[in-house]
C-alpha cells in the first residue's frame, strides 16, 4: 500500500473531479457567481496539494486507524491523483481543479475532524459530516513533483492558480507548495473551531446544479456540540498542561498553547515595570504574530494588523493581545481539548478526574 501511495503522489492528471458519487453533496460546477463567498474575501490559507479520492466511513473518526482504512480502500479502488488548490475561508473551504474552477465546497461547520496518519504522514484526511449524519473522508496528499521551487512544473501551476511565490532559500518550500500537510491541517482545524463559536449561513450542494440551498440560519444537520468547555483550570495545572502540550506538539499546533501561556504571563507584569512589559510584548509579537515568525498563530487578519500597528507605534499595553488570545482560547477549548481527551495522551487520568476539572 505504501508503494502504491508513493506512486500516486508522483503522478498527476488534469481531469475534473467527476465520477464519484460520494462527492455529490459537496460538488460544484465551477460557477463563481453562485459561490457563498464574498468576491472581496481573501482565503485565510491556500496551498496546492493532490486530491486522492473520497470514501464513506462508519463510526466516529477519532483515531488514525480510520484514515488508514480509507487509504487501503482507495488503494483497492486504484484512485487517480489530481492536482488541486485548497482555499480555506472563514466559513467555507474551496477546492479548485487544475483549470482553477471550483469543484468542491466544504462548509467549515460540517468538518468533523481532520488528521494525518503516522503510516502515511504525507496525507491528510478531511472528514465531513453529510446531510444524513454520516461521515465522508476526503483524502489529500503532498504534491512531491511541485515542491522544488523554481522548477518548470512549479512555475506552471503557480501561474495556473495565480499564486505569487515568495523568495525562499535553498531547501525551503513555498508556503503554497508545502512539503508537509501540517500547515493545512492546522488551518482546517482552526476554521472548524472558529466556526463553533459563531454562526454562518449553512448550505448544501447539489450534484446536478450549483444553485444551492442557502439557509438563513445555521444548519442543524451538521451542528457541533453545544457544550461550552472552560479549560482555564486545566491550564493552571502544570502536570495536565504538560500532557496537553505534548499532544499539541504531535498535532503541529503547540504554538497555540505557548501563545496563550505567554500572554497570560504578560498580563501579570506590573504596569510600573514598563521596560519588562515592552520587552515581553516584543518577544510575543516576534515569536507568534510577526509574519514568518517561528510559532505563527492563526488569527483574523484584522486582529493581526491591530497588533502590528500597536507595535509599530510603540503602544505597548497590557490588553494589546487580548483579542488574539480570545480567538486562540476558543481554538483550544472547542477543538484541541476535546481531541486531547479522546486521545491516548489524555488517557492517563481517570474519566472522573477529567470531569472534576471546570469544563
Summarize pLDDT for 62-81 with one digit per residue, the tens. 677 888 888 888 888 777 88
Residue 67: what pLDDT? 86
Question: Of 45-49, 143-147, 223-227, 349-353, where does mean pLDDT reach its minimum?
Answer: 223-227
The mean per-residue pLDDT over the stretch 83-100 comes to: 92
CB 49, CB 102: distance < 8 Å: no
pLDDT digits (tens, 9 = 90+) for 119-164: 788 889 999 987 777 889 999 998 888 887 778 888 899 999 998 8
C-alpha atoms less than 13 angstroms from C-alpha of 21 in its C-beta half-sphere: 1
Res 343 pLDDT > 80:
no
CB 77, CB 19: distance < 8 Å: no
Ordered by where they begin, the domains of the chain are 1-15+22-196 (2.30.29.30), 231-345 (1.10.167.10)
CB 138, CB 83: distance < 8 Å: no
pLDDT digits (tens, 9 = 90+) for 182-208: 888 888 888 877 655 444 444 444 333
Mean pLDDT of the chain: 77
Joined together, the cell numbers standing for residue 262 give 505567554
Q: Among 236, 243, 233, which Cα is nearest to 344's?
A: 243
Question: ∠217-221-224 over CA atoms, to 5°?
Answer: 85
How far apart are alpha carbons 136 and 115 in whole angstroms?
Answer: 13
- What residues contact 186, with CB distance under 8 A and at least 6 apart? 252, 253, 298
- DSSP classification of residue 27: B
CB 140, CB 124: distance < 8 Å: yes
Question: Of 31-45, 211-225, 288-302, where does mean pLDDT reach its minimum?
Answer: 211-225
More confident: 20 or 257: 257
What is the percentage of the chain residues whose pLDDT exceeds 90?
29
Residue 71: what pLDDT? 86
pLDDT bin (cut points 50, 70, 90) of residue 355 is very low
Joined together, the cell numbers standing for residue 305 give 494588523
Residue 330: what pLDDT? 86
CB 178, CB 116: distance < 8 Å: no
Task: Identify the top-confidence range among 94-108, 133-147, 159-173.
Answer: 94-108
C-alpha pair distances (Å), 13 with each of 16, 197, 252, 254: 9, 39, 30, 36
Rg (CA), the chain: 21
Alpha-helix runs per DSSP H in the chain: 2-10, 64-77, 152-160, 182-196, 232-236, 238-250, 254-266, 274-284, 301-312, 322-331, 337-342, 351-356
Q: With a threshold of 0.75, does the pTM exceed it?
A: no
pLDDT bin (cut points 50, 70, 90) of residue 179 is confident
Residue 242: what pLDDT? 82
Residue 293: what pLDDT? 92
Amino acid at each position: 500500500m505504501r508503494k502504491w501511495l508513493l506512486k500516486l503522489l508522483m503522478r498527476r492528471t488534469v481531469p475534473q473531479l467527476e465520477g464519484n458519487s460520494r462527492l455529490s453533496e459537496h460538488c460544484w460546477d465551477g460557477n463563481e457567481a453562485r459561490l457563498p463567498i464574498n468576491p472581496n474575501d481573501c482565503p485565510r490559507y491556500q496551498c496546492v496539494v493532490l486530491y486522492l479520492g473520497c470514501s464513506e466511513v462508519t463510526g466516529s473518526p477519532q483515531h488514525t486507524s480510520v484514515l488508514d482504512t480509507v487509504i487501503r480502500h482507495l488503494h483497492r479502488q486504484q484512485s487517480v491523483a489530481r492536482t488541486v488548490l485548497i482555499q480555506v475561508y472563514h466559513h467555507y473551504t474551496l477546492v479548485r481543479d487544475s483549470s482553477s474552477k471550483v469543484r468542491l465546497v466544504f462548509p467549515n461547520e460540517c468538518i468533523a475532524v481532520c488528521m494525518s496518519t503516522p503510516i502515511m504522514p504525507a496525507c491528510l484526511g478531511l472528514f465531513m459530516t453529510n446531510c444524513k449524519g454520516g461521515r465522508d473522508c476526503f483524502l489529500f496528499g503532498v504534491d512531491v513533483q511541485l515542491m522544488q521551487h523554481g522548477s518548470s512544473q512549479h512555475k506552471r501551476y503557480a501561474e495556473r492558480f495565480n499564486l505569487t511565490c515568495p523568495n525562499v532559500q535553498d531547501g525551503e518550500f513555498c508556503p503554497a507548495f508545502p512539503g508537509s500537510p501540517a500547515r493545512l491541517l492546522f488551518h482546517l482545524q482552526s476554521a472548524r473551531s472558529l466556526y463553533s463559536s459563531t454562526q454562518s449561513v449553512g448550505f448544501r450542494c447539489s450534484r446536478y446544479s450549483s444553485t444551492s440551498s442557502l439557509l438563513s440560519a445555521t444548519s442543524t444537520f451538521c451542528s457541533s456540540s453545544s457544550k461550552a468547555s472552560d479549560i482555564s483550570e486545566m491550564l493552571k495545572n502544570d502536570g495536565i498542561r504538560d500532557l496537553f502540550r505534548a499532544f499539541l506538539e504531535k498535532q503541529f499546533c503547540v504554538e497555540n498553547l505557548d501563545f496563550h501561556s505567554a500572554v497570560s504571563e504578560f498580563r501579570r507584569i506590573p504596569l510600573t515595570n514598563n521596560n519588562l512589559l515592552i520587552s515581553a510584548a516584543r518577544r510575543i509579537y516576534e515569536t507568534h504574530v510577526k509574519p514568518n515568525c517561528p510559532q505563527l498563530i492563526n488569527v483574523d487578519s484584522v486582529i493581526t494588523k491591530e497588533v502590528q500597528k500597536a507595535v509599530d507605534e510603540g503602544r505597548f499595553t497590557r490588553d494589546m493581545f487580548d483579542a488574539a488570545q480570545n480567538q486562540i482560547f476558543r481554538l483550544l477549548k472547542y477543538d484541541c481539548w476535546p481531541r486531547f481527551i479522546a486521545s491516548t495522551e489524555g488517557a492517563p487520568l481517570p474519566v472522573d478526574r477529567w470531569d472534576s476539572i471546570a469544563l
